[in-house]
């Protein structure tokens, strides 16, 4: 047992959750000043690159297996542990972990409908590993959209015994902070003929009090139906007698079931305003079908 003159080494795990949907006011892509990053691009928390960022099993066509590719883009070997977790989205787009026993009656989960392998991988630098996800839903499954999240958590390296031993001779208290990077991607199972509709409301131009911050365009996405929606939010400005100009965009924004609405704020590269109006569009990606979920306009105040 260590005496009080010895160093107590404490490892604090900092879980950094990253998700495929932007948080309220967290978007950083501004057009045309900066090029938006498509949500189809691999996610990269720490040195882990993951693609695709969403897994969807649909009845038509029914494919019972999917793959997620993990790539270690760092310079050192890394180990990742995989698990299925239940999460919900708040109205502001924040993703929260659902503790056991805290599920709501209108929430449907997919973790009992899929299996995945392997459950842990160790990747050498620049190495890749495929994770196989298999659908195992029963034949009598009720219609609806079921969703859980595949959570990939970095396993911290073993404590450096030499460093600890050297520090022990000095006495005192040392706190070693070991960041644990993690990412969760949605795994969605859709059963039956599902649909969704979206309307946009509460449009507002928000000018910052801090000149270092961009202006924002606020919007509420109102969802009805039996499935979630996913797409890109864009804002264009049309001056009187001129063509529309893209001034803001957030890619890959979802409204998950059972949520009826989600708030979003889009950073703007705002030109000098000369009357006219703003147009905000919520549209599915071309690879997903390109459906225009909703469109609305706001006159320049």
pLDDT tens-digit readout, 141-156: 999 999 999 999 999 8
pLDDT at 18 over 70: no
Contact assessment for residue 122 and residue 79, using Cβ atoms and an 8 Å cutoff:
yes
Average pLDDT of span 203-214: 94
pTM: 0.79
**Residue showing tokens 């969703």:** 147
Q: What is the share, in percent, of the chain residues with pLDDT greater than 90?
A: 69
Reported confidence tier of residue 62, pLDDT bands at 50, 70, 90? confident
Q: What is the share, in percent, of the chain residues with pLDDT greater than 70?
A: 77
* Radius of gyration of the chain, Cα coordinates, nearest whole angstrom: 23
Domain 196-299, CATH class in plain words: mainly beta
List, for residues 233-280, the tens digit of each pLDDT value.
999 999 998 999 999 999 999 999 999 999 999 999 999 999 999 999
Return the C-alpha torsion angle 52, 56, 58, 64, nearest 10. Answer: 70
Reported confidence tier of residue 43, pLDDT bands at 50, 70, 90? low
- What are the structural domain ranges in the chain? 11-161+176-191, 196-299
What DSSP string runs through 139-164? TTPPSEEEEEEEEEEEEPPPP-HHHH
Closest CA to 110 of 121, 98, 119: 98
Topology match between the domains 11-161+176-191 and 196-299: yes
For residue 94, give every residue at least 6 positions away whose Cβ sits within 8 Å of its Cβ, in sequence order, or none.
Answer: 23, 24
Residue 157's pLDDT is what?
Answer: 76
Strand ranges (DSSP E) for 156-256?
173-191, 196-206, 216-225, 229-238, 245-255
Contact assessment for residue 58 and residue 289, using Cβ atoms and an 8 Å cutoff:
no
CA separation for the pair 149, 198 (Å, rounded): 24
Q: Which CATH architecture has domain 11-161+176-191?
A: Sandwich (2.60)
């Amino acid at each position: 047992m260590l005496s009080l003159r010895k160093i107590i080494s404490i490892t604090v795990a900092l879980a950094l959750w990253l998700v495929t949907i932007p948080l309220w006011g967290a978007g950083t892509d501004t057009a045309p000043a900066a090029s938006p990053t498509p949500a189809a691009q691999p996610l990269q928390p720490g040195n882990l690159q993951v693609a695709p960022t969403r897994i969807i099993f649909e009845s038509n066509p029914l494919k019972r297996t999917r793959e997620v590719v993990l790539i270690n883009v760092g310079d050192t070997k890394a180990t990742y542990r995989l698990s299925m977790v239940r999460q919900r989205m708040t109205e502001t787009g924040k993703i929260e972990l659902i503790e056991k026993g805290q599920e709501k009656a209108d929430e449907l989960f997919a973790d009992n409908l899929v299996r995945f392998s392997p459950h842990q991988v160790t990747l050498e630098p620049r190495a890749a590993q495929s994770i196989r996800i298999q659908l195992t839903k029963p034949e009598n499954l009720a219609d609806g959209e079921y969703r859980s999240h595949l959570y990939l958590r970095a396993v911290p390296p073993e404590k450096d015994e030499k460093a600890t031993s050297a520090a022990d001779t000095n006495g005192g208290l040392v706190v070693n902070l070991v960041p644990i990077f993690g990412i969760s991607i949605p795994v969605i199972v859709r059963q039956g003929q599902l649909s969704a509709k979206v309307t946009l409301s509460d449009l507002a131009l928000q000018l910052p009090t801090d000149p270092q911050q961009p202006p924002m365009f606020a919007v509420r996405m109102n969802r009805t139906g039996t499935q979630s929606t996913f797409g890109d939010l864009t804002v264009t400005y049309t001056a009187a007698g001129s063509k529309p100009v893209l001034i803001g965009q957030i890619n890959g924004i979802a409204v998950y079931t059972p949520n009826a609405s989600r708030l979003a704020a889009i950073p703007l590269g705002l030109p000098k305003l000369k009357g006219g109006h703003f147009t905000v569009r919520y549209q599915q990606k071309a690879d997903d079908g390109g459906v225009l979920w909703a469109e609305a306009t706001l006159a320049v105040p």
